[in-house]
Amino acid sequence: MTSSAPHPAQVFDRPTVRLKPKANARGLRRGFPWVYDSDLVTDRRTRALLPGSLALLEDGERAPLGLVTVNPQSKIICRMLDTDPNAQIDVAWFIARIAAAQDMRARIYDAPFYRLIHAEADGLPGVVIDRFGDTCVVQPNAAWAELHIEPLAEALAQVTGCATILKNASGRARGLEGLDDVSSMLRGQAPYAPVPVVMNGATYMADVTGGQKTGLFYDQRPNHAFAARLAGGARVLDVFSHVGGFALAMLAGGAVSALSVDGSAPALDLAMRGAQAGGMADRFATRQGDAFEVMTALAGEGAQFDVVVCDPPAFAPNKPALQAGLRAYERVARLAAQLVAPGGYLGLCSCSHAADLAAFREASARGIGRAGRTARMIHTGFAGPDHPQLPQLAESGYLKAVFYRL
């Protein structure tokens, strides 16, 4: 009988990388998962490592910190995988991480439709996995995950029992890691039709092979639910709607009508199919076009809505884009506020890592004020519990949703 236990050479032949003397080793010991290139000794040997290589990380005094993955091409040059420097990144290791993540979701959700792995917060840096019943979509957005995609897929199949596992390579972060954008099938066959997902009383159609990201944004589920509580008897407008996110939830909550605005015709087609599946198509309409242009046109038409929600893409995905992103959020707030009927409600969302809650609120308030409206903030929402936050990593809490009464 052969043993799967690692030969000692497999562990101790790993290269060693070391922090600079003044780097913050204390933060790493307390759970911060990244090492920036400016904090690591990057000699010729380190720079020659294959992106995604495993290495032992030491502090400036050569004390061990743990097992990391190294990508010399990335500003995040090291990601902590395990505080045990001798850990083996094999199927059993992945099973332990994925099983722990699934156990938490199974306690919260009554059906297997959720984000199963939320990167660093679930102990798999740079890895996103969304589950759609018997189908899982994996986004390996870090080089180490690409190198270990087979044991990851095998562990995922064993833990979840899912017959279909897809790799989605569309994530923006893959380019920063030097990775390609070629998606593929890892297990099973791709679904021939969109996968129906029921949330908050509405049915959404997730295109897991050709849609944005993994096909559906689970993170907004609790914010959809809050918006639905405002929607009874209301005329609602959902801007940057994707597959009908807020609109369908508000129709399920009793809205008399809903208009979804998005630049993607395929996304709006899926939104309409979701409305039909939920028996709400007679109250639902779509309008394709640039969101800023459509909101300007609606204002020119004198349109008014009782609830308006805007959920734009990440206008400030990084620090260099922050100021331009905040101006874009301000513009969204100004245009949207003009469309809210007196006494109505406005929901504004941001999924930008670089724009924190305070900055986003300030930009939103400026936009509402520039529209000549006064507002009272009534609710602040975040991503659901299937998108856990790592307390030491502010970037893991990226989603903000702020609701106002105007």
Catalytic residues, which ones?
A: 351
Is residue 237 a contact partner of residue 261, using CB atoms and an 8 Å limit?
yes
* One-character DSSP codes across 223-250: HHHHHHHT-TT-EEEEES-TTTHHHHHH
Q: Among candidates 25, 102, 18, 27, which has minimal Cα distance to 58?
A: 18
Any idea what the Cα angle at residue 138 is, between residues 351 and 112, rounded to 5°?
A: 85
Longest CA–CA separation in the chain, Å: 78
Element (H, E) at 53: strand 53-58
- How far does CA 163 lie from the centroid of its chain? 24
Neighbouring C-beta atoms of residue 158, cutoff 10 Å: 15
Is residue 241 a contact partner of residue 265, using CB atoms and an 8 Å limit?
no
Alpha-carbon dihedral sign for residues 336, 340, 343, 345: negative
Q: Among candidates 369, 324, 325, 365, which has minimal Cα distance to 348?
A: 365
Give the phi and the psi of residue 378 in degrees, each rounded to 5: -115, -15
Strand 235-239 and strand 305-310: pairing?
parallel
Q: Which pair of tokens denotes residue 325?
A: 């992103």
Rounded distance between C-alpha atoms, residue 32 and residue 238, angstroms: 37
Measured between alpha carbons, how far is residue 60 from residues 18, 23, 133 in Å? Answer: 6, 8, 47
